[in-house]
Amino acid sequence: MDYLRQNPKNLTEYWMDSVQKDDFGTIWIDNINGSPRSEILSLAVGPVTPLSLLLGASMGPFTLAVDVKSSSPVSSDTSKQKMQNLQLAPKKFFASVKAGDEKPFDFFRTLFEGVIAGGTAGVVVETVLYPIDTIKTRLQAAQGGGKIVLKGLYSGLAGNLAGVLPASAIFVGVYEPTKQKLLRTFPDNLSAVAHLTAGAIGGLAASLIRVPTEVVKQRMQTRQFASAPDAVRLIVSKEGFKGLYAGYGSFLLRDLPFDAIQFCIYEQLRIGYKLAAKRDLNDPENAVIGAFAGALTGALTTPLDVIKTRLMIQGSANRYNGIFDCVQTIVKEEGPRALLKGIGPRVLWIGIGGSIFFSVLESTKRFLAERRPISHPESNSKQE
């Protein structure tokens, strides 16, 4: 053992007198030339804990394991080779993926499939959940003890779909290729950063269409206009073109964090589930993960949604002079709890919406992927 301490690099030159197989099928060194196993492991890799058997990581810098396919004795050369395959196992705080294991990145196909899948998912979820969104908007718009009108819950749907379709298509169309590019750029354990960044970039691109659509939709939901064309025409005539972007700052304040957090939670849970299940997820599983991600993100961003709603529906009255004035006025006149108005319908709406959106999104992406033209690497190499 003194020789080993002085010459740690020559540890692999010693023959394993015996090995022991634990319940997990891992072969551990029992003793080397009569030396206790714990002393050898301590010298080679540091102390080994029961947790390390499960996670494949020791408390020291390395994990020492020998993978054998039979219980027959191994040769000295084999033992040397396996002993030399000690690898560092860095801790990862986020679920990770390896871009190298994926198919080659096709930017334009990823963009095209993202546009189709995003537009489809956006239209489906908006149509199904529009009445809940209308109730949520009317709750947030009501000041004091105002009553909520439950008629015309589909008011403005047609005009809203005209904006939701391109907005959702742009968002996913930007998000998917950006995500794939960032996953290939960032280290494996920073996949969450890639998802957060891609979600924010996708939301920023889609906001150019989302904000006018949201302004028109919420003005119609609060019964200020009878139709989407009339809403656009009157808003522009009274408030100018910038009226269509009323509350743009608060919209970004709400939607950029929302998009980034929701898609990050969804992607991380999905990656972790796939790694645990060792298979692709089915539509119900995608739906459950999407519902959880949507509901949690919706609850966290409710105050931002209330501020955004108040700024968008105030029109030319200009009751609130910016985001901070809006917060101060609401808290002063209605109390802090007013910032959580509509949280119930919002969590329900976004939770169900996340379930439908991500389920439709993944199934559409899978449908398109199955119909991709088959490339022939051999013919491509010949052409090169």
- Report pLDDT digits (tens) over 93-121: 455 554 444 566 688 888 899 999 999 99
Give Dmax (Cα) for the chain.
92
Does pLDDT of 74 surpass 70? no
User: What is the mean pLDDT of the segment spanning 205-209?
Assistant: 93
What pLDDT, on a 0 to 100 scale, did the predictor assign at position 115? 93
Q: What is the mean pLDDT of the chain?
A: 75
For 5-36, write each residue's pLDDT tens digit.
555 444 444 444 444 444 444 444 444 444 44
What pLDDT, on a 0 to 100 scale, did the predictor assign at position 7? 53
User: What is the mean pLDDT of the segment spanning 355-365?
Assistant: 94
Does pLDDT of 185 surpass 80? yes
| Residue 371 banded pLDDT, cuts 50, 70, 90 | confident
Q: Which residue has the tokens 């403005």?
A: 156
Report the alpha-carbon distance of residue 306 to residue 322 in Å, rounded. 13
| Residue 61 banded pLDDT, cuts 50, 70, 90 | very low
Query: Which is nearest to 309 in space by CA: 232, 242, 253, 352?
Result: 253
Helix (H), strand (E) at residue 77: helix 76-83
What pLDDT, on a 0 to 100 scale, did the predictor assign at position 73? 47
Q: Which residue has the tokens 């280290």?
A: 187
- The answer to whether 149 and 223 have CB atoms below 8 angstroms apart is yes
Helix (H), strand (E) at residue 212: helix 191-221
| Residue 86 banded pLDDT, cuts 50, 70, 90 | very low
Strand partners, 20: 28
Instruction: Spell out the CATH class of 99-373.
Output: mainly alpha
Per the model's pLDDT, the better-predicted residue between 131 and 9 turns out to be 131
Helix (H), strand (E) at residue 201: helix 191-221
Query: Which is nearest to 280 in space by CA: 346, 378, 382, 363?
Result: 363
What pLDDT, on a 0 to 100 scale, did the predictor assign at position 21? 42
pTM for the full predicted model: 0.62
What pLDDT, on a 0 to 100 scale, did the predictor assign at position 263? 95
User: What is the mean pLDDT of the segment spanning 72-94?
Assistant: 48
| Residue 308 banded pLDDT, cuts 50, 70, 90 | confident
User: What is the mean pLDDT of the segment spanning 280-294?
Assistant: 93
Contacts 24+ apart (CB under 8 A), 264-270: 264/192, 264/195, 264/196, 264/199, 265/292, 265/293, 265/296, 265/297, 266/290, 266/293, 266/354, 266/358, 267/179, 267/191, 267/192, 267/195, 268/94, 268/95, 268/191, 268/192, 268/195, 269/95, 269/293
| Residue 195 banded pLDDT, cuts 50, 70, 90 | very high
**Domain limits, the chain:** 2-88, 99-373
